[in-house]
Every structure is written in structure tokens, then in C-alpha cells.
Structure 1
Amino acid sequence: MAVHNRTLNIIASKLGLTEEKIFNKAAEFERLLQTKTVAGSNITDTSKTVICLDLAAELLGADLDVKTAVRYSGLKPSAYTNIRKIVQNLLDLNENKLTTLVLCNTLQCSTVQTLADKILDDYQKQAKIALDFSLPQYVCMAVFQACRISKVKIPKSKIVERSRLKPVQWGKLDVEWTKFVDENFAASKKKRGRPAKNTDSQKDNNEMEVDSLAKTEDTKESQIEPYKDWKKRILSAAYKELEIARKQQIQMSKLSPRRSPRKTPQKASPYKSPSKAVRLLFPLNF
């Protein structure tokens, strides 16, 4: 057996892996990971070793109990699955690697693939730290931003799911990428103004407008009525209306004769003594 680090040998024995080729392949994966950045600073060396053994066993067709591997990695099952996929992408072991072409075809937005590749390349050039841009979150974000500035509607829930990020992580990455894309790509998508017309055509149009305005003013002046005629016409119309109103008033007065005002009957006073005398039951002098 070749000499490997002690942790690798111990964990391999715990997982029931005894083949020399698995040890060699897992050690090779560990050396490659040292030159790459793994997302998440809370990943321990033990977790990396377990995942490398898991990938080596899968690649060489050896049996491995996944539950046992998760237990020795010290990670939760969901975290183990996510980190395993990240390491798999870093080591170029994933045959179904997510690309902008695959994602655009899946989401039916192939028209933005070229723009998504351009965004991904430019962001990679300005990145201050070394990142693996083949990871699904960067591919998904590039396609998402390309669809945003191109105004192509896609289901956001699906693209977030393909990114393998939590909503909070996606939100932080979205803010960073949106700022970058707006500064470098959104300006080129704005509509430009129409080209100016030729000078000769502008002159011809101006002359035609002046001629049409002059003709309109002439027709307006010819249609203006003199003041005396207007005054005479207005007064005659007013006199006719007054005469008609006076005749109608006379006819109404003939048809409805005036009635005398109705007299209001006087009410009897409550303090007035009755007309009949009252006979006393007992005489006053007895």
C-alpha cells in the first residue's frame, strides 16, 4: 500500500474501502482541491477527504454506504450533497455539467445565450478572487441577468433551483451581479435616437408648411364677417326672440283668468265665553 496521509487511511477503513486504486485516486483528488477554491469556509479537511473517497469509489465502481460517509464527514445530508456537487464540478467529474447552452435550452431562452456568455466572461475578468465560474450558480446568474436586460421572461424559481443556492445566497449574488451588469451591459441595450433627416428634405418640408399656413390664414381672413353686418344680425335675432316671448305671455294670461285670493277663516278664541248660559245647581243665596 502506498503511503498516504493518515486521515485518508483511517476514513477509508471506516468506510470499508480497501482497494489501493481508490486510495490513489482519492489522494489525487485531494491534491487537485488544494489548488482550487471550494465555496464555503466551514468545510473541514475531514469533509473533503470523505468526499474525495466517495467520488473515487464512484468513479472506480466500488460500493460505498452514503449514510456512513455523511456521518463521518460531520455535515448534514443536504450540505454534504451540495458540497459533493461543488467538488465534483471543480474536479471536472460531472458529465452533466451545467452550461449556458444547456440552461438556455432548458428555459427556452436561447436568444440570450451569447449575451450570457459575454456577461460570464467579463465578470470573470474583473473578479478579484479566483472563482470556479463553471459552478451552476454563476452560469444561472449570467443567464438570469441576460434575460433581465433583454426583457425575456423566465421562471425565476426554476433558475434559482438550478443554481443550488438558498434564496438568501441568491439574493446577495443577484445584488452584486445586477450592479455589474447595469454598469457594463444595460447601457448598450437602451434605444438610440432616430437618425436626423437630410437638410434638403427639411427645407422642402419647411417651405411646404409655410405655404400651407399662408393659405390657411387667407381663408380665415376671407371668412371674417364685418362688424356692422354682425351687429345687425345679432340685434334682429334678439328682437325676434323678445317678440315671440311677449306673444306667448299674452296668450297664457288669456287662457288662465286671475282668481281672487281665498279668505282665511278666523279661528275661535279659546278664551271666549260660550254663548249659552250655565244653570247653577245650587242658588247663590240660601
Structure 2
Amino acid sequence: MEEQILVSLAQKLGLEGDRIIKKAAENMRLADIRGMSSSLSSLNLSGSCKAVMCLELAATAFGEHVDKMTAIRVSGMKNKKIYNSALRAIECLLDLQSKVTVTDLVIQFGCPEAKQLTLQLLQWHGEQNTTQDNVEVSQIIFNAAALYSVCRHMKHRIEKGKLIDITGVTRALFDRVVAQMDKILSDVLKHQKNIEQKTNKRCASFIEQLEKTTDEQSPIKKTRQMDNEEDEECFEIWKEKILQAAYKALGKSYPS
């Protein structure tokens, strides 16, 4: 019965070939299984509507073109926007969407300065979430949500609507993932601050000890013969060079 429906709809879409029908049937079965606990169920798509979309995805996989307006008409959807939104949801559910990396996103949205923190956020997210309960949530959503969270923290303007379009999920699902990323980002920033404070404390202690050591090794204390300004100036130059080298090794700017 399912195959007969697919064949009938395929003819209306101008598609031919058993391989497209078989692939579409496979897509439908997988969508039905995964869609039970996903955001797709909230779309209330009819069987014929899902069939048309699964046919379009199958055709795309084999390099076949499907006229968008014909697909919308045959599916019974109201308009192109609603159809595309549902199509992206199924595409995401089946993990058929194109792979978009963080690098791709920061280039597209013009925010390369957000890349490093976004990658760190994703690393923390991956460590805290080794398994995912929602099968419709794919890596592209995490990448986009992490970037959005970081850009918002950095006060860098980024078009949320375009990000959501790229992910192919509903706004509600995107917001849910962003909320998760916001919580993890807060932990990342706290961790960074603690490391910075500890590093600064160690650096200050090291510099203080180094200054003390250079004073103790002063030619004045060793020979008690620094009775003129020229010798003192030489010592200060020597001491400054030692401290400059120490600051440089620690990646710090030497205070002028």
C-alpha cells in the first residue's frame, strides 16, 4: 500500500525509477520510527505530505530535480515556507542535511573571533553529553547554537533566523539547545577565570621571588663596592633585562 502511494506521488512529481521509490520508502520508515519522540510529531504532517518530502529527499540523493512548487501543491502544504520548514525537519531527522562546520559558520556570519570559544564550548558540551536522547538533534544544531550563545556573550550581532534556517529545525528546538549551551558557556567562562586568576597569582609570586633573588645577588651586596652611580646603573639595567626575559617567558607584558 505504501509503495503504491509513493509510486502515484512520484508520477505527479515527474519522478521515475525503482531506486527512488525504494529510497523514499526507507526514508519514510525511518522517519516514522524516529519521529515518534521528535519535534516532527508536533508538525502533524499527513502521510502523503511526508511521502512527498521523502520522495524529494530520495530524488536529491540520486541527483534528480523536483519542482518545488509542484511538490508543495502535491503535498497539500499551504505555502513554500511551511513546506521547507517541514522538509528540513525530516532532513535533519534522517541526518541527511549537509555538514556545516564551525569554521563554515563563522565565515558565513563574519565572526571569526568567536571560533575558539565556540569550539571550546562544543568540547565541554560533548564531554557532558556523551549520548543524545533526541535523535533529531544533529551536530549542525549544536554548532549553530554554540556559536549563537558565544556571539551573544561577546555582544556580536548574528542573525538568529538565518542560523535556524541552516539547521532546519523549529525555533523552539533551537532555543532549547541554545539554553543548554548558555549554561555550559557559563561554566566554561568560570573555569577560564579561575585558571587566569591562578596563573596571575603564580606569575606574581614568581616575579616577586625573582626580584628578591636579583636583589640578593646584587653586586652591591656581594662586593659592597658599588659606591658610584655608574655601577648602580649597570645593575639596574642587568636586573631589568632579567625581569623582561621572565615576563616574556610567562607571556606577560613587562610594566614600563
- TM-score normalized by the length of structure 2: 0.59
Q: What runs of 5+ residues in structure 1 fail to find an aligned partner?
A: 206-286
Deviation at 1:81, TM superposition (A): 1.3
Match in the other structure for 2:183 = 180
Say whether 1:132 aligns with 2:137.
yes
Identity %: 22
Going from structure 1 to structure 2, the CA distance change for 1:48 and 1:12 (only over 3 Å counts) comes to: same
**2 CA distance for matches of 1:80 and 1:167?**
13
Of 121, 145, 150, the residue aligned with 2:126 is 121
Q: Which has the larger radius of gyration?
A: 1
Say whether 1:105 aligns with 2:107.
yes
Say whether 1:189 aligns with 2:187.
no
8 Å Cα contact 1:22/1:53 also seen in 2: yes
The residue matched to 1:11 in structure 2 has which SS? helix
**2 CA distance for matches of 1:125 and 1:131?**
16
**2 CA distance for matches of 1:73 and 1:66?**
10
Deviation at 1:68, TM superposition (A): 2.1
Deviation at 1:90, TM superposition (A): 4.0
Of 44, 62, 84, the residue aligned with 2:46 is 44
**2 CA distance for matches of 1:92 and 1:86?**
10
Deviation at 1:50, TM superposition (A): 0.5
User: Aligned letter for 2:83?
Assistant: Y
Deviations 1:180-216 (CA, angstroms, capped at 9, x unpaired): 2255323213252642776xx79xx9xxxxxxxxxxx
**1 CA distance for matches of 2:74 and 2:90?**
17
8 Å Cα contact 2:121/2:188 also seen in 1: no
- Superposed CA RMSD: 3.7
Q: Which runs of 4+ in 1 moved over 4 A?
A: 165-168
Going from structure 1 to structure 2, the CA distance change for 1:47 and 1:138 (only over 3 Å counts) comes to: farther
**1 CA distance for matches of 2:151 and 2:174?**
17
Report matched runs for 1:1-286 at 5 Å: 4-37=2-35, 39-41=39-41, 42=43, 43-75=45-77, 76-95=79-98, 97-106=99-108, 107-109=110-112, 110-122=115-127, 124-125=129-130, 128-135=133-140, 137-149=141-153, 151=154, 153-157=155-159, 159-164=160-165, 169=172, 172-173=175-176, 176-177=179-180, 180-181=183-184, 184-190=187-193, 191-192=196-197, 194-195=200-201
8 Å Cα contact 1:70/1:77 also seen in 2: yes
Q: Quick check: 77-86 or 35-44, which moved more?
A: 35-44
- TM-score normalized by the length of structure 1: 0.54
Q: What runs of 5+ residues in structure 2 fail to find an aligned partner?
A: 213-256
**2 CA distance for matches of 1:141 and 1:148?**
11
Residue correspondences, number: 196
Going from structure 1 to structure 2, the CA distance change for 1:145 and 1:61 (only over 3 Å counts) comes to: closer
> If each structure's helix is expressed as a fraction of its own residues, which one has the higher value?
2
**2 CA distance for matches of 1:166 and 1:88?**
9
Going from structure 1 to structure 2, the CA distance change for 1:74 and 1:100 (only over 3 Å counts) comes to: same
Structure possessing the higher relative contact order (Cα contacts under 8 Å, 6 or more residues apart): 2
User: Aligned letter for 1:87?
Assistant: I
Deviation at 1:175, TM superposition (A): 6.4
8 Å Cα contact 1:50/1:73 also seen in 2: yes
